Amino acid sequence: MKYFIYAITLFTLLSCKKDPIKQVNTNPGGTGAIKPNGVINTQIFEVINLSYPGLEKAKALHDADKPYESVKAILEYYRSRTTVVNPSLSLINVNSSEDDKLKADYALDNNRFFVNNYYEDAVKKMPYSLGTGTINWLFKPAGADDEYQKQLHRHQWFVPQAKVYRTTKDEKYIQSWISVYKNWLEKNPMPETGTNTTTWWQLQVAERVMVQTQLFEYYKNSVNFTPEWFSEFMVQFAQHSDFLVKYPYQDGNILISQGGSLAFAGVLFPEFKNASGWMNTGFQILGTEVKKQFLDDGMHFELDLSYHIAAIADFYEVLKLAQANPLIVGNAGADFNQYLLKAAQVVMNFTYPNYFTNTASNSQYVPGFNDTRQSSWSRSVLNKNFVRYHEMFPDDKELFYMSSYGKSGTVPSSAPKAFTKSGYYVLRNGWDRLSTMLVLSNNYSNDAFAVWSHNQPDNGTFELYHKGRNFFPDAGVFAYSGTDNTDREWYRQTRVHNTMTLNSKNITTGKGKSLAVVSNGPTEVIAVENQGYSNLKHRRYVFFVNKSFFVFVDEGIGSATGTVNLNFNLCEGDTEVVLAGDKNGAYTNFSDGNNVVVRTFADETLTTVPFNGKLSYTPGVEFSRKAYGVNMVKTAGQTARYITVVYPSIQASAVQLNAVFKQAFSENGVSLEVTVDGTKYNLNCNL
């Protein structure tokens, strides 16, 4: 979840925001007349190494007791410096979009700072106001979770304003930034000891450091980037970076962001006395975490595709930084790639085939398991990442295929993919939009599904894509942890995922286990299990028959008594999705002819109970859908056994289905017969 500190007496009002006259910098690169020494923050001399090559003039002025002129000379050095390159931006081809302009101008309008996905008026893309004149840094919109406050204090909303300044040279944007940032420093001082959970939490500090490395480049030649403001900015930058060294996060994706920010701080500002310490600490963190955080099968250990993709991106940025500044970095980061190739291949294998077609803007291109924010991974954003992967691994023809939208390179394999360490499995019959693809999640969790975890209690769940439609989308994540976790906990219920429950209760453990990944002639089989409850184990077989339709065998094994529920949560469609309780299933009736029929069979009596389902592709936004549970009363000595057929068809309601077990329950495998419109299929899997 990705994404400065000294109070000074003067507070520049934001009145310029309504000034119709464009304030153009008439002295580009100028620093103005010499001012009294008292206007600068003299702590800059405690953090800058005046013996660094290029700062000879500044050192001489400092030694001559001319601190203001010395700071002016340091600023002039940075404005003309060419020995350090920030590969994350280009000052030659700055591109500020209409969206950047909208965000930049809203920031001038009653302090409407853009915080991702939170709008007072979503149609106008108008952010919430933090107050007129006085800024309320404690503001949080009604109903918002803690993520709003966290993202607010990451300052990523400063960057669009800086890009617009660079393209327009309108000084009101930098004046706004200076005024707002000064106010933030005054109202949010660095804690004397330790961190807090919002303003000075490691991720917030790390993101602010990364933002500051960009803002400095965009603004440094402005007439408003004066020696006095420059001295303040640099002191705060040093304090931020020192803070990150002093308080390393314990683990996880936040630690990667922290390491990356320290690497950028140390490499891009080698003139600081502590720069080598920042850089070395950053690369040391990253060198350790790249080995720890990506599992042997390539998946990020938090088992969330959003954080997985973001983690690779963080390492990519640091690799680019090292390549652009070899004399400063040396060999640091040289071995990252050997761990990142598998990680990139995970993203490739999780991508749905509609990625290759320019489909509707609200299409989902990756599964939504756990806290994955599907809205973050648009087609263009995914492609941007695949372009990076191809850049990192130019010899990998499959990644080249992904980066080119299928126009070059080699089509990836359609063989079954098993990521057994993380517990993800992929079955597909091709890579074009008309293909079929199923992703099964049965991961291994060590955090007992705590509410703050990015991993949901949904072992055994799946998503099924067919010809451009996801027929069983994951519930998604509606909210992050906050004071009231009611909404978050609803989406974390096991029953709102496509898996088995006991008495509709959440599973208590996630210890996913792989039993088999095999091909029996034209049929591929995945078998997994999870001890979801102390007295009930869920075993699931998935047969991909002739690479055209699916048969699930679900077994509830153990001494548990009560009602075993097999839950199915379907796609959106008020009239297009039809529940058929009398047949223990459902079917769809979309006018485009892309439909499926679902039927569940068993040796015991079944009852089907519908319930109101929901799904959320974007935090704070939800949609209704139809859902149902197929229930069986289980005794202590019984194994609850189900067969479910999911069959794509143009006229799904007309398909005739039947299925029977050919043998009693066995720990060693399963055998069954499925009939589709009179054609029989004998299916078996030996464990």
**Bridge partners of residue 606, in order along the sequence:** none
Contact by Cβ (8 Å): 475, 462: no
Inter-CA distances, 586 with 462, 589, 599, 649, 673, Å:
17, 10, 7, 13, 21
Helix H or strand E encompassing 234: helix 227-246
Contact by Cβ (8 Å): 673, 683: yes
**List of long-range contacts for 45-50, beta carbons under 8 Å, 24+ apart:** 45/70, 46/273, 47/234, 47/235, 47/238, 47/272, 47/273, 47/274, 48/74, 48/234, 48/271, 48/272, 48/273, 49/271, 49/272, 49/273, 49/275
What is the rounded CA–CA span in Å between residue 476 and residue 622? 9
DSSP 33: S
Helices (H), 430-496: 486-491
* Residue of 181, 307, 365, 642 marked catalytic: 307
Examine the residue annotation and report whether 307 is marked as an active-site residue of this protein.
yes
Chain centroid offset of residue 463 CA:
19
Contact by Cβ (8 Å): 538, 458: no
Helix H or strand E encompassing 160: helix 158-168
Contact by Cβ (8 Å): 430, 353: yes
Cβ burial of 517 (10 Å; 0-12, 13-18, 19+) is middle
Token look-up 């409850």 returns 533
Torsion sign (Cα): 273, 51, 53, 215? positive
Phi, psi of 96 (to 5 degrees): -105, 120
Q: Which residues are catalytic?
A: 307
